[in-house]
Amino acid sequence: MSNKIRSKVDLLFADAPQTKKVFELKEELIVNLTEKYDDLVGLGKAPEDAYNSVIASIGDVDELIKGLRQNDVFNSEREEKERRKTALVVSGAVGLYILSILALISIVEVFRADGVLALIVFLLIAGFSTCMLIYHFMSKPKYIKADDTLVEEFKEWKQEHTKKNQLCKSLISIMWTLTVAIYLFISFTMGIWAYSWIIFIIGAVVDQIIRLVFDMNGMRE
């Protein structure tokens, strides 16, 4: 029956572009449909009835194929606007992080001000950029399924997966920016250049922990 399900999915996607994205989508659909079929048969449903039921659960793939031709499963124009907005927010946040580091060094080395004041200014600027990033990713609208078909479930999963993947990358970027800032602050104020590089080893460990957490929760590509 698995071959029959595969043949049906291949037929449904006959007009779809032959890309890696389409292949991965088809394979995931086949796995989901096969598991659903086995569950229905295990509950006592006749094989043919179970097959018809899982095929009916796929839903309309025409819109999905149209989106795949545009290299996206969602509205391409809306997604392009979202990408530009995200790029603007992330670029602005990175710029603020760089500014916070420059402010930290300038206050301590150029103006010879108290290190505590420099740290406060740094935290204010870095904190604002961090809040800006978190708000941007958390405020993205959640995809609302039109029905309970696998196509709609895939669209919902894809949007959430993309959002969490972007959040993971942003958190790692924030972590490394803070690592550099802490390294420079400690090195300039305490003069322990021979030992302060250890901070980067700690940063690498934290980097892997963040990636591991997201991987374990299926949040990252």
* Residue where a domain terminates, one of 49, 69, 89: 69
pTM equals: 0.44
Task: Give the domain extent around 20.
Answer: 2-69
Q: Which residue has the tokens 């991987």?
A: 215
Residues 151 and 63 in one domain: no
Residues 87 and 150 in one domain: yes
Number of domains in the chain: 2
Residue 154 domain flag = yes
The DSSP element (H or E) to which 188 belongs, if any, is helix 150-190
CA-CA distance, 23 to 158, in Å (whole number)? 15
Residue 146 domain flag = yes
CA-CA distance, 108 to 187, in Å (whole number)? 11
User: Which regions in the chain score pLDDT beneath 70?
Assistant: 60, 63-79, 140-161, 163, 217-221
32-84 tens-digit pLDDT: 888 888 988 888 889 888 888 888 877 767 766 666 665 544 455 666 777 78
Conformation bin of residue 144: beta by default, left when phi > 0, alpha when psi is -120 to 50 = beta
Instruction: Give the chain's mean pLDDT.
Output: 76
Residue 221 domain flag = no
